[in-house]
Chain A
Amino acid sequence: MPYRRRPRHRRIRLGWFLLLGAILMLLPHTAATRLQMAVLQVLRVPIRSGRWIGLAARTSIELGGYVPAKQYKQLADQYQQLLNRTKTLEAALEDGYKRLEELAQIRQIKPLQRLRPISARIITFLAPTQLLIEAGKADGITAGDLVMADEAIIGKVVFASAYTAKVELLTSPQMAMVATVRPSNIAGLLKGDGNNGMVIRTRAPCPVKVGETVFLDDGPGKGLPVGTVVSSQLDRKDPLLWVIRVQPGWDMSRAKVVWVMTTGQ
């Protein structure tokens, strides 16, 4: 079968293409960019794969070529170890920054400026209202030192051994401290109820309302908030007394570190 010659009209083609070029030249830049993006969006998968290959090729060139598989595995293991160590150090650094920040905030509390704060990790809860912390006499801690967390007084050290100390929380029934409810300005003895709460008993009737804040009025922590009033009502057992229930201003379930406010230098 003979081949058929195709007609070729070069000038007409040239004219059409020049017209196309002129139209593209007149196209606004924003429209041109949109058109380019649309085409590149269609081709994104091969372009992305190719870029990855190009990058890999470039990296191997910078490394100076290939390395044996065994050496590669060793290097990969070392790299993983370094990565893990970096992550651990970063976590420790972040923890350190957090402690520094807490310390700075404690330093701004006026009544505590004369005291020396020592940070201590919580080892365990001996009871719902008792903590064992990882600091003791060797760090300068003595029985009676105040303990803080979440910028609030949470309790007192009741016993200190060489490297550990036992802390009794304010929610313990064995703890009692003088406190004042503000702004109604009612003072009373704050005692723990043994169940993650505190109670102030005072003479009835009492103008304290729910939402008021309770401040310590005793010892070096005088003036510091300890919690918020959640109920204020007549005592059912004794009509002469008024019961103010206080919710602590801290959350021990989240705390990992506490601050012991020591008096030593």
Chain B
Amino acid sequence: MYWMRFVILIIASAVLQLSIVKGLAIGPDLVQPDLMLILLAYFAAHATSPDAVVCSFTIGLMADITGWTLGPLTLAFGLIGLAISYLRQYVMLEGIPQRALLIFLSGFAISSLARGLSAIKGVPVPIPPASHMIFGPLYSAVIGPFLMQPLEWLMRLQDKKYRMGLR
């Protein structure tokens, strides 16, 4: 795993999420794609299980930093990333429709879990439920599969050396 690339990638994604992606917002609720969710789907589906855990929690932490409070998204991203890394042993996650479905379902699960954890923490979520749980993940699912190929060029997680644990 190219960890330095990973760190730069998530910082760059956080910056993009807070800046350029805001320009892609649509609808009255300003629904926007979630780059962190797309990164999570990619790393959880293609990294080895131990790396997937690290990546999921780290992406969750970055999502928390750019989110409304610290904690809920770290746990939600970590746990859902872990679930995806288990799931991929039984389900094929190649191809655009599968990837889109993966992004949508993981987005729905993460937002539901994060809202629950946020309620436990006692911090209100400033995003309307429909855009947070349905339209946001849907938007991410539409553009996410097309971003996964450039991610693969950058991170090379499907490389043989990496799969064998040699890199």
Contact = CB atoms under 8 A, between A and B. Distances in A.
Contact of A3 (B19, B22, B71, B161): B161
Contacts of A104: none
Interface in A50-73: 50-51, 53-55, 57-58
B69 A33 contact: yes
A5 B166 contact: yes
Contacts of A22: 75
Nearest to A16: B57
A92 interface: no
Nearest to A58: B23
Contact of A32 (B14, B16, B20, B70): B70
A21 B15 contact: no
A54 B54 CA distance: 31
A53 B122 CA distance: 36
A35 B78 CA distance: 20
Contacts of A20: 57, 61, 74
B9 interface: no
B82 interface: yes
Interface residues of A, number: 36
B91 to A, nearest CB: 20
A71 to B, nearest CB: 24
A10 B49 contact: yes
Contacts of B19: 46-51, 53-54
Nearest to A61: B23
Contacts of B7: none
Given A36-B70, A47-B15, A25 B75 contact: yes
B95 interface: no
A20 B79 CA distance: 13
Contact of A27 (B16, B20, B71): B71
Interface in B58-90: 60-61, 64-67, 69-72, 74-75, 78, 82
Interface of B: 11, 14-16, 18-24, 48-51, 53-54, 57, 60-61, 64-67, 69-72, 74-75, 78, 82, 117, 120-123, 161, 165-167
Given A20-B74, A24-B61, A43-B11, 4 more contacts: A35-B70, A36-B64, A49-B19, A51-B22
